[in-house]
Amino acid sequence: MAIQTQYFLLLSAAVFCIGVYGILTRRNALVFLMSVELMLNAANINLVAFSFHHGNLTGQVFSLFTMALAAAEVAIGIGIVLVLYRNFEDIDVTKAATMRW
Amino acid sequence: MTTRPRLATDVNYVNGLAALALFAVMGYVFMTSELGMPAGFADGSITASIGYAMFDMLDQAAIEAEGFLVAFIVIALVLDAALDGAVMLARREDDESVVAAITDGGRPLSGRESDGADAETATDDVTGGDD
């Protein structure tokens, strides 16, 4: 007895919207990174769900590559947060309004 | 004195309503869609098939997939570039050395204003106490 695909999609939409909520409401750059991670993982849930739906493993393999890409994104993101803290002494994203100072 | 995490109070709840609206729309669309039951995978090891698909050895895979060897190489290069980028961002511009993470909880450094102070004095100031 398999779960219908639309419930996977509903879970994915919930995780994605939690990520969108975090990005829209919070101002901490590290929370931003976590929210982007939630959104990427929501896409992974969709890939795996449709992989199972069609009986083809392409989606599962591609979700592995998405995870690797998310790791690269976090490495760069934390580097940017580090520079942000060094230059503004804060990681509030609304304070970093200029690119040169 | 230790600090503990506190509930964020500077939260923009009004903007968050947009996320809730998005979830309502997506939930409606998904629940009214007629996707039917999933087909499921054929018999055989899923993990082994993922491994074969990743290295373009699809003739040995039990479950149908596409080849991902080029994507595998590209993602290796991207991860390498991200590692270099992270080191480049973490490097300080003045003395060109990567310093250890400052675990000061976001407290302002006492030797922050003077640019000539080296990393050791700054770290000692942090651990030695606050101003």
pLDDT over threshold 60, residue B127: no
Which residues neighbour B105 within 8 Å (Cβ) at sequence distance 6 or greater?
B3
Residues of A in contact with B79 (CB under 8 A): 68, 71-72
Rounded CA gap, A71 and A94, in Å? Answer: 25
**Cα(A5)–Cα(A51) distance, rounded to whole angstroms?**
10
Domain-by-domain residue ranges, chain B?
Answer: 13-109+116-126
Residue of B nearest to A60 (CA): B50
- Give strand pairing partners of A28: A92
Question: Is A94 a domain residue?
Answer: no
Q: What pLDDT, in 10s, does the model give residues B88-119?
A: 988 876 665 555 666 666 666 555 544 444 44
Domain membership of residue A31 (yes or no) is yes
* Domain presence at residue A24: yes
- One digit per residue, the tens of pLDDT, for chain A of length 101 reads 678 899 999 999 999 999 999 999 988 899 999 999 999 999 999 999 999 999 999 999 999 999 999 999 999 999 999 988 888 888 888 887 777 65
Please tell me the total number of residues recorded for chain A in this structure: 101
Q: Where are the beta strands (DSSP E) in B3-107?
A: none
Mutate to test the interface with A, among B41, B45, B102, B103 (most CBs of A within 10 A): B41
Which residues from chain B sit within 8 angstroms of residue A86, using beta carbons? 92
Is residue A51 a part of any domain in this protein?
Answer: yes
Tokens of A36: 């982007």
Domain membership of residue A84 as a residue range: 5-88
Structural domains in chain A (count):
1
> Which carries the bigger pLDDT value, residue B120 or residue A77?
A77
How many CB atoms are closer than 10 A to CB B41?
19
Confirm whether A55 is domain-assigned: yes
Largest Cα span, chain B: 68
Q: Among B30, B39, B54, select the one facing A10 at the smallest CB separation.
A: B30
Does the CB of A99 have a partner CB in chain B at under 8 Å?
no
pTM above 0.80, yes or no: no
pLDDT digits (tens, 9 = 90+) for B32-52: 988 888 888 888 899 999 999
Q: Is A94 on the interface with B (CB under 8 A)?
A: no
CATH assignment at residue A48 = 1.10.287.3510
**Cβ–Cβ under 8 Å, residues A45 and A10:** no
Determine the Cα–Cα distance for residues A90 and A88; give it in Å rounded to an integer: 5
Per-residue 3-state assignment (H helix, E strand, C coil) for B45-64: CHHHHHHHHHCCCHHHCCCC
Give the pLDDT of residue A58: 93
**A25, closest residue in chain B (CA to CA):** B12
Give the model's pLDDT for residue A93.
Answer: 84
